[in-house]
Structures are given as structure tokens and as C-alpha cells.
Structure 1
Amino acid sequence: MARFSGATWKPISVNFTAKGQSSVRGLVVHIMAGTLAGTDSWFRNPAAKASSHFGTGKSGALYQWVDTANRAWAQADGNTSWLSIENEGQGGDALTSKQLDRIAEVFAWVHKTYGVPLQVASGPTGKGLGYHAMGGSAWGSHPSCPGSRIIAQLPEIVARAKKLAGTPAPQYAPFPGTAWFKKSPRSALVTAMGKRLVAEGCSAYASGPGPQWTESDRKSYAKWQKKRGFTGADADGWPGKTTWDALRVPKV
């Protein structure tokens, strides 16, 4: 049995697979498109055929519905190797600070219990803190779950989890401004960004990440922005403050 002591235990009797969690790659963040109470009720309905290991309320409530030794039904093919956490709210919402705290608490516990690295996951085959849309069609085709605003908050959740786990958060380079990149600079910072993009599954580089920002870097950055759920001006291939904070480029 694996239950997080910081959560209110709300066991359900349907909509999960007993002892079906084959491995744990990390924790997947979802949005409920509803309330915590409504979701609690829905998971108890056999017709729902859906569940989650954990769930948060906007005011800071934290529920655990499914023991993490069991498989919740939250993200289709991702269920066998990922835990799940639903969050009260609607598509397009950002998480409240209390929700960020609760997810960080669960993620720090997942790190301690299963050895999951405290990082944003690079994709379905990666490890760390993920989000529903990253699984694509194999995870049920939910491109708006949990939404770009919440995806942009994942690094903050990781930072809070590291603090809880006693791991100091790394230092990051200050944002140099979008115009800096349009001058095609040569810098170790560009190399660090390239390595981060490759680690998150981008491969649009002509010859791998290098010290100069080129058109290949811009295309790869645009690919990463879209993969992470950004749209409009935040998905044009040019680093902006919002996507910079989401990428969290290591200081060089």
C-alpha cells in the first residue's frame, strides 16, 4: 500500500485497476473542468470509467482516491507508468498558490517514494512532473489539458518540491530579452538552451546545439513552445519571458 499522509484518504471502489501500477515514471498534472466535489462524485460512478490518484481544490484541499500501488484511469496508455493528479478549475485557468503547494507536496513524496527525479518531464518516455496533453493520442488526445497557463507553472511546482525535499533549487540566467536572440548571438547561454531543448525532445537542429542562435534554433524553440502548449506570440520561435521561465535555462 502507498498512501500519502498529507492527503485526505477518499477511497473509491470502482474505476481503477487493483495492483496495476507496473512502474512510476512520474506525476501527471490534469485540470478537472469542474469542482473537487463534483469530481469526487463522478469518480464513484461506474459509468465514469475514470479516476485519478490525487486531486486538489482551489482552496488547498488534497484528496487521494486511489492507492499508488493501483492503477488509476486518468491518461489512457500513460496509466501503467504514471501517477495522476486532477486539479479543480476550468481549461485556461492557472493553478492557485495553494494548489501549487499541494502538487509540490505530492511530487516531493513521489520523489522520495519512487525515486522520480525532481524535474519537468521531457515527454511520455521521460521522468518527472508531466502534464496530460504531452501524451498525445496515446493518452486520449487532450491537447487543452491542463492548458498553457498551468504548463508554464510546472517549473515552479518543481522548485517548491525541491525545497520540500531539501534539494536547493538551481540558479538560472536572467532573461536577456527577445531582441538579443534576433541578433543571432554567439554565447554559452545559447549552448545551454540547446541542451535543454534537446533534453525535452526537440531535434530541429541542423548539427546539434551550438553557441550561436540560428534559424534552426528558432524552429526548434517554436516546436518546443507548441509541444508545451503555448500559442500565439508565445509560440513564434522567439524566447519571451513566459517561455523562458518555463524552459528554466541553467546559469552559465
Structure 2
Amino acid sequence: MGINQEVLMAEYKAAARAGLSPNRDRRQGKIRLLIVHHYGSTQSPEAAWKRFNSPNDRSVSPNYQINADGSAYEVVPPRHYRAWTTGVIDHQAVTCETQNTSGEPNWGISRASLEAIAQLFAWVHQEFGVPLQRGRVNSDNTVAVPGIVGHNETPAGKETSTICPGPSMDIPWIIARAKQIVNPKPTIDLEDEDTMTRTFIQTSVQGSKYELLRDGSKRLISREEWNAIRALETEAKARGQEFQVIVATVKSADLNKIPTRK
């Protein structure tokens, strides 16, 4: 009896589609890497999906198919299965194949695809404990440093001298974005004049800090967020940009007159 691809539940909840490709085998080893690939073509998501989910010329499949619109398809669920993407190192990896937006020499990767890979990397980190850092694989297919690597950084990739995942695969950006997803911090647009000055109020007795918002209301600030705001102020100054934090001390009665944003 065949498997109904359309009713399978994805392990990665952000996946827009779930399958169970025949191009797989049981995983042997702990997941320690995210290995990124590109298609090496601009074929449509539907064409790639059909290829990955059928016996094909290269017996190839990834755990995840990343499309140019930012959607992710789960081709081979990674918890118990190894996809056939990179070689024996796949036993220790979650792998993804990414749709190109252009051919050589740039092998374009859309910003939406990079965001989708960062989201996937954050999930791999949270689900399997893979550190959000650049990884490294030894020539004998052992993992020297767990993290994210490109196909061309693996023994199989070096053997074939592939350029995959191509020059447009911005791995440093993916790492930085994945860290931001896992540990979100308050952000400011330092080019937006409305954010160049932020005012905070507190009472001399309680010490709790509130941000005074432009609509006249106030918002309670946690200790963690306050520390992050101060760090942003330091960063702005280091970049020579204007960003001012004003802290005013008021009486409790005056503070209570200011409505709190829900």
C-alpha cells in the first residue's frame, strides 16, 4: 500500500508540506550538523518535490526542501531517518536543498530562503542541540565541530570539487539570524528618527522602569530588556549614530496617572 504524502504530519511544524521519500534509510548516529545545499537549478518547487520523493537518477533526497518563496517542505523526517544528500555524513546531519533564483555564476538564493534556513537551523538547535555556529567535518566523516556547514565543506563535496551551496548562500547571516530567533532581543531601527530617543521613567522607591510611549502610555520593561536596550545604546555610539536613552525619576502618584499599555 502506498503512503499518502498529503496526510503525513511534519516533525518540523513550520513545514508547509510533509513527505516520506523512498530515498532514505534509518539514521545511525546523533544529529550534529545542518548541511546546506542548493539545487544547482531553478526548477520549480513542485518539480523538485516530485524528484526528491521518487527514485531518481542520483537517488537523492534532502530532509528539507527550501523554496525561493521561503516555504519549507519536509521530504525525509530527520528524527529517525537519514536523507540521501551528502554521503555517509548525512547520518549525523539534517540536510536541506535550496531552490536557486538564478544560474551560474551567482547561483542566486532568495532572502526568503535564507530566512527559512535560519528558522530551520534554530529549530535544529532547539530540537537536537546542534550549536548555532560554523561546523567542521574531518576527512574521515567524523564531526570535528558541530554546527552548520555547506556541502563543499564535507568530504563528499571536496571529493567532487563542488561549489554547492554556491556563493549566494550567506552562512554567516544564517548563523546570526538563527541566534536572534532563539534569543530575541529588542531591536531598533537606527535610521528611524522616531527611535533615536527613547524615554524611560521610574520611581525612586520602586525602581521598576517603564518606557514612555509616544501615545502617552507606559510599558513595563523587564531587567533583561533594559540590559539589552543599554547594549543597543552602546552599539549605536560605537557606530557613531545618535541613540539616546533618557531616564526620568517621578513620584509614584504621577507614575500612576500614566496609563499602562496592555
The alignment's TM-score, normalised by the length of structure 1, stands at 0.60
> Match of 1:148, SS?
coil
* Structure of higher CA gyration radius: 2
Q: CA deviation at 1:137?
A: 3.6
Q: CA deviation at 1:47?
A: 3.2
How many residues in Structure 1 have an aligned counterpart in Structure 2?
A: 165
Instruction: Within 5 Å, give how 1:95-174 maps onto structure 2.
Output: 95-124=109-138, 125=143, 126-137=145-156, 141-150=160-169, 153-166=170-183
Q: Verify: 1:73 aligned to 2:84, yes or no.
A: yes
Quote the Cα distance in structure 2 between the aligned partners of 1:7 and 1:164.
17
| Bigger proportion of residues as helix | 1
Does the CA-based 8 Å contact 1:111-1:118 persist in structure 2? yes
Q: CA deviation at 1:147?
A: 1.5
| Bigger proportion of residues as strand | 2
**Gap regions ≥5 residues in structure 1:** 169-252
> Match of 1:30, SS?
strand
Seen in structure 2, the aligned counterparts of structure 1 residues 77 and 141 have a Cα distance that, compared at 3 Å, is farther
**AA partner of residue 94 (structure 2):** L
Aligned to 2:38: 31
1:82 alignment partner, one of 93, 105, 113: 93
The structure with higher relative contact order (CA 8 Å, sep 6+) is 1
Aligned to 2:3: none
Aligned to 2:22: 14
Identity percentage of aligned residues: 27
Does the CA-based 8 Å contact 2:107-2:166 persist in structure 1? yes
Q: CA deviation at 1:135?
A: 1.1
Instruction: Within 5 Å, give how 1:216-227 maps onto structure 2.
Output: none
The alignment's TM-score, normalised by the length of structure 2, stands at 0.58
Does the CA-based 8 Å contact 1:111-1:117 persist in structure 2? yes
Aligned to 1:60: 70
Q: CA RMSD in A?
A: 2.2
After superposing on structure 2, the runs of 4+ consecutive aligned residues of structure 1 that deviate more than 4 Å are none
Cα shift readout 1:24-49 (whole Å, capped 9, x = no counterpart): 11111101123222211111221341
Seen in structure 2, the aligned counterparts of structure 1 residues 155 and 44 have a Cα distance that, compared at 3 Å, is same
Aligned to 1:209: none
Seen in structure 2, the aligned counterparts of structure 1 residues 139 and 45 have a Cα distance that, compared at 3 Å, is farther
**Gap regions ≥5 residues in structure 2:** 1-8, 186-262
Q: CA deviation at 1:55?
A: 1.2
Quote the Cα distance in structure 1 between the aligned partners of 2:125 and 2:82.
18
